[in-house]
Amino acid sequence: MENNIVWHQHDVDKQRRAQAKGQKPCVVWLTGLSGSGKSTIANLLEKKLADNGKHTYLLDGDNVRHGLNGDLTFSDKDRVENIRRISELAKLFVDSGLIVITAFISPFKGERDYCRNLLQENEFVEVFVDTPLEECEKRDPKGLYQKARAGEITDFTGISSPYEAPESPEITLNFSGQSAQESAEQLFTQLKQKGLID
Ligand X SMILES: Nc1ncnc2c1ncn2[C@@H]1O[C@H](COP(=O)(O)OP(=O)(O)O)[C@@H](O)[C@H]1O
Ligand Y SMILES: Nc1ncnc2c1ncn2[C@@H]1O[C@H](COP(=O)(O)OS(=O)(=O)O)[C@@H](OP(=O)(O)O)[C@H]1O
Q: Is 65 near ligand Y (CB under 6 A)?
A: yes
Amino acid sitting at position 92: L
Q: Looking only at residues 7 through 26 of this chain, which bind ligand Y when binding is defined by CB under 6 A?
A: none
For position 62 contacting ligand Y by CB under 6 A, the verdict is yes
Binding site for ligand X (CB under 6 A): 32, 34-41, 103, 139, 141, 178-180, 183
Task: Verify binding: residue 58, ligand Y, rule CB under 6 A.
Answer: no
Q: Which of residues 119-158 bind ligand Y (CB under 6 A)?
A: 142, 144, 153, 155-157
Pick the closer one to ligand Y by CB: 144 or 196.
Answer: 144
Instruction: Indicate the angle between helix axes 76-95 and 14-21, nearest 10 degrees.
Output: 70
168 classed as catalytic: no
Residues 64/88, Cβ–Cβ less than 8 Å: no
Residue with Cβ nearer ligand Y (23 or 34)? 34
- Collapsing DSSP to helix, strand or coil, 126 comes out as strand
CA angle 17, 23, 24 (to 5 degrees): 90
Do the beta carbons of residue 34 and residue 99 sit within 8 Å?
no
**Catalytically annotated residue among 96, 106, 160, 176:** 106
Max Cα distance, the chain (Å): 56
Angle, helices 109-118/76-95, rounded to nearest 10 degrees: 20
Q: Report the nearest approach of ligand Y to the CB of residue 150 (Å).
A: 13
Residues that bind ligand Y (CB under 6 A): 34-35, 38-39, 61-62, 65, 74, 79, 82-83, 104-107, 142, 144, 153, 155-157, 161
Active-site positions read 106
